[in-house]
Structure 1
Amino acid sequence: MSGLRVVPAWRHGRERLYVCGRDGNNVAWYDRETGRVNLLDEDSRDAVLEALKPFLTGPVTVGPPPVPTPAELARLTLHPDDDLAPNRPGEALLVALDRDPAPAHRLRPDPRRRALAAEQTVGAALDRLEGAGGHTLHSLPLPGGDRVHHLLIGPTGLFAVHALYARKHRVLVADPMVAVGRRETGPLLRRLRADADRASYALTAEVHPVLALVDPADVRITATPRAVRIVRDTDLGTLTRLDVVLKPGDVEALHAMARDRNVWGRA
C-alpha cells in the first residue's frame, strides 16, 4: 500500500496521528502516550510503519485496536455536547466572564476572577493526580444553577472538591460557617454536604465533600467538621493516599457515567 499520509489530531485530550489512505479513510492511528500503533488493516502494517517512521518517538506496540470496555463503549456513544470531560477548571465562570465581562471602570476586582483563579489552581492540582489511577472532571452542572467545582474519581473513592479563594487571608471554620478574612461566606459546609449528597444520588455511589482552600495565610478549625474534609490546595494529594475502596473497572465505569451531562440532570 502506498500514498499514505499522516494527519495529527487530538481526541479526549490525547494527541493521535492518523494514517489515511488515498480515499481519505483511516487505516491506522498512533497514540504517542501509550506508544501503540493501532492497525485497522493488518496487510498495511509495513506501509503504515514506513509512513509513521519520522514521527515515532520510541518503541511501539503494533496490532489491532484493543476491544473496548463497557465503560469505553458508553463514553463513545455520548454526543459531544453531553460530554463533560473536556470542561476546563472553572468552565462555567470562563463562559460567564466571556458573555458578561465586568466594566473596565469597576473600582473593585470582579469577585468572579478570584473564584476562577481558585478553581483553576485546584483543578490543575487535581489534574496532576491522574497518574494515580484516577480521573478528574470539572464544573459539573447541577439543576438549579449550582455546580460541583471538581469531581475526583479514583481508587480511594469519589470526592466533590469545592475551591475557595483565600489568598493571604486567615480562614475560620466553625461548622457549618466559613469565614475568609473579615468576610463570612455563610453556611458553606452545609452546601458542600448537600452538593455531595446530590452527586451521590446521581452516580449511585458515595461522594465525599472536600473544601480546598487556595493559599490561605492561616486556617483555624474550631471543631472537626462533620463529613467534610478541609485541605489546602497544596495538600490535595492526600486524597490519593487513603484506603483503596474502588477497583480499576469501577473507577472507569464511574468516570464514564459522571462525564455524561444527562446524569447530572437527575441530581
Structure 2
Amino acid sequence: MSGLRVVPAFRHGRERLYVCRPDGSNAAWYDRETGRVNLLGEDDREAVLEVLRPFLTGTVTVGPPPVPTPAELARLTLHPDDDLAPNRPGEALLIALERDPGPAHRLRPDPRRRDLSAEQSVGGALDRLEGAGWHALHSVPLPGGDRIHHLLIGPAGLFVLHALYARKSRVRVADPMVTVGRREPEPLLRRLRAHADRASYALTAEVRPVLALAGPADLTVTAEPRGVRILGETDLTGLARQGGVLKPADVEALHAMARDRNTWGRV
C-alpha cells in the first residue's frame, strides 16, 4: 500500500482533491473543473492515479502543475487588504449597516436595506456567470467616496452595472433621468456613464455601462439612452451570450488589474 490518501478542499471557489502522503505533505492534486491531475513528483505517478481512480471522470490530463501566468502571479502577490475579489454584493452597504443599524423604531424601512437587496439580487445573478469564463467584482471603491456597484469582466468585454431597486414599481427613463414609482427623478444615467469612463481610464479598456433593474413592474423608455443598456436582473445572463471580444488571457489580466484596490486610486 502507498499510504496516500485523498482530501477534498475548495480553493477560490473550485473543488480540488489533494493526494497527501502519510507525513501530511502533498503528492498531487486533481482539479475537477479542468480535468487535470497536477503531480508534484513523477515518482508518485502510478500511486497517485491509483488512489484517485474512483474520483476521476472523463478525459484527464496528468503532468506537473502549469507555470503561473502573469495574472496569477499578480494575484498571489496582492495584499489581502487590497484584494477586491472577496467583496460580497453590497459590501459597502453591509459594512455601513453593521456599523450603524439605525433606530429600531423606524416608521419606514431603512432605504439602505432596499438598496442592499437590489445589489445582492443583481450581484447574485452576475456571480452565477463565474463558471462561464466571467469574473464579477462588487463595491469597487472610487476616490471621493463613490463606488461602482458591480464590474463584470468576460469574453464579451467589460461592463459597469448600477443596481436599482424597483420592486413592483414602474420605471421611467428619460435620459439622463430615471424615475422609480413616485420617487423623485435622478440623473442616474449621467452618473453611470461617468463610472464607466472612470473604469475605462483605470483599466485602459472599453467599459460599457448597464442599468440593472431589480424587480420592476414596468419599464418605459422615452428615447434610447446614449450608450447605456437597461436590463432586468433576470436578463443579465444575456450579457454572457454576446460575441466574444476578449481572449481568456486578456480576461484574466484585466481581472487581476481590476481586483487590485490601488488600480482605482488614480481615477
TM-score, scaled relative to structure 2: 0.90
CA offsets, 1:85-120, max 9 Å, x none?
Answer: 222211222222222223322221121111111111
| Corresponding residue of 1:176 | 176
Q: Cα distance, 1:253 vs. partner? A: 1.2
* Separation (CA, whole Å) in 2 of partners of 1:16 and 1:247: 25
Q: Cα distance, 1:233 vs. partner? A: 1.2
| Corresponding residue of 2:259 | 259
- SS of alignment partner, residue 143 of structure 2: coil
**How many residues are aligned here?**
266
| Corresponding residue of 2:72 | 72
CA offsets, 1:192-232, max 9 Å, x none?
Answer: 11111111111011111110011111111111112211111
CA offsets, 1:55-88, max 9 Å, x none?
Answer: x152443221122222222222222222222222
- SS of alignment partner, residue 130 of structure 2: helix
Amino acid of the residue matched to residue 226 of structure 2? R
Question: How do 1:159-174 residues align onto structure 2 when only pairs under 5 Å count?
Answer: 159-174=159-174
Instruction: Identify the range of structure 1 (17-26 vs 132-141) with the bigger mean alpha-carbon deviation.
Output: 17-26
Question: How do 1:52-201 residues align onto structure 2 when only pairs under 5 Å count?
Answer: 52-53=52-53, 56=55, 58-59=57-58, 60-201=60-201
Instruction: Identify the range of structure 1 (28-37 vs 210-219) with the bigger mean alpha-carbon deviation.
Output: 28-37
* Separation (CA, whole Å) in 2 of partners of 1:78 and 1:235: 34
CA pair 7-104 structure 1, distance change in 2 beyond 3 A = farther
Q: Is the 8 A contact 1:152 1:160 kept in 2?
A: yes
- SS of alignment partner, residue 199 of structure 2: helix
Taking only aligned residues, the RMSD between alpha carbons, in angstroms, comes to 2.1
Amino acid of the residue matched to residue 262 of structure 1? N
- SS of alignment partner, residue 17 of structure 1: strand
| Corresponding residue of 1:234 | 234
Q: Cα distance, 1:265 vs. partner? A: 1.5
- List gaps (5 residues or longer) in structure 1: none
| Corresponding residue of 1:250 | 250
CA pair 159-143 structure 1, distance change in 2 beyond 3 A = same
- List gaps (5 residues or longer) in structure 2: none
* Separation (CA, whole Å) in 1 of partners of 2:151 and 2:13: 17
CA pair 3-185 structure 1, distance change in 2 beyond 3 A = farther
